[in-house]
Amino acid sequence: MQDKVVLITGASGGLGHATAPVFAHAGYRVALTGRNTEALEELAATLEGESDRTLVHAADLLDREQTGALVQSVIDAWGRIDGLLNLAGGWAGGVGLADVTQAQWDEMLHMNLITAIHITQAVLPQMLAAGDGRIVHIASMAVEDFRARQVAYNVSKSGLVALARSTAVEYGAQGIRSNVLLPGTIDTPRNRRTRPSQDRSNWVSPEALAEIMLMLCGPVGEEINGAAIPVSGGL
């Protein structure tokens, strides 16, 4: 995988901190993006290999111009993007459908779906020109096991599944493989801080998610397209 390039969004989060080392160790060139340059640089400094195998480019994926500039910077540096790992996203809830405000709808749709649309559209032209590309999104088990009082989150993550599968249907014949993982609660430092009283025995290991993404980006992943893969942590 020495010449392969993977772009990781939301890289400075807990899942990004597990995923970037797995791909760097496997020989990928790793491009890291998020909104916090300092956090991205701190992550990049921990990765194995030469510094010219890691690229940091902060961007707000809600902004199409910034998203396009991000993708162009990776292509300018390495000439290609073989894989997109879209880890960007978040959770908000606590109110029933009748009481969800426009701001709350916007927060979830923007964070979990619109950013994904922008980055997918930005990487597709180069992947299609190459006749090959792997896209992996991170949705949630919530799309199969809806929970009350988080409707905006449920809808936004369901839309992400539709985006992944639509990409697979439209571009599978042209070499693109698009899949989505459906994890339960991921065992990240942030989730441990915000949910200190929860039983973590069935939380999902971020390292396991990273290994599944590595598989989807490798030779075996050629045979998998349009899949929504539950990663339940044993539930």
Topology of the domain comprising 5-231: Rossmann fold (3.40.50)
Q: Active-site residue among 23, 28, 153, 171?
A: 153
Question: What's residue 1's pLDDT?
Answer: 60
3-class secondary-structure state, position 175: coil
Percent of the chain whose predicted confidence (pLDDT) is above 90 = 80
Residue 90, C-beta contacts closer than 8 angstroms, at least 6 positions apart: 108, 111, 112
Which of 126-130, 148-152, 188-192, 229-233 shows the lowest per-residue confidence on average (mean pLDDT)? Answer: 188-192
Contacts of 91 (CB under 8 A, 6+ apart): 150, 153
Mean pLDDT, all residues of the chain: 94
DSSP SS3 for 211: helix
> At 38, is the pLDDT very low, low, confident or very high (cuts 50, 70, 90)?
very high
Report the C-alpha gap between 208 and 167 in whole angstroms.
Answer: 25
Compute the Cα dihedral for 150, 152, 154, 157 and give only its sign. Answer: negative
Per residue in 54-89, pLDDT tens?
A: 999 999 999 999 999 999 999 999 999 999 999 999
Rounded mean pLDDT of 146-156?
90
Helix, strand, or coil (residue 84): strand
Separation between Cα atoms, residue 129 and residue 75, nearest integer Å: 12
In the chain, where the domains are located: 5-231
| DSSP 8-state assignment for residue 48 | S
pLDDT score recorded for residue 190: 85
Position 130 pLDDT exceeds 90: yes
% of the chain at pLDDT higher than 70 = 98
3-class DSSP state of 133: strand
Q: For this structure, is 171 an active site residue? A: no
Provide the pLDDT for residue 201.
Answer: 81
Q: What is the pTM of this model?
A: 0.96
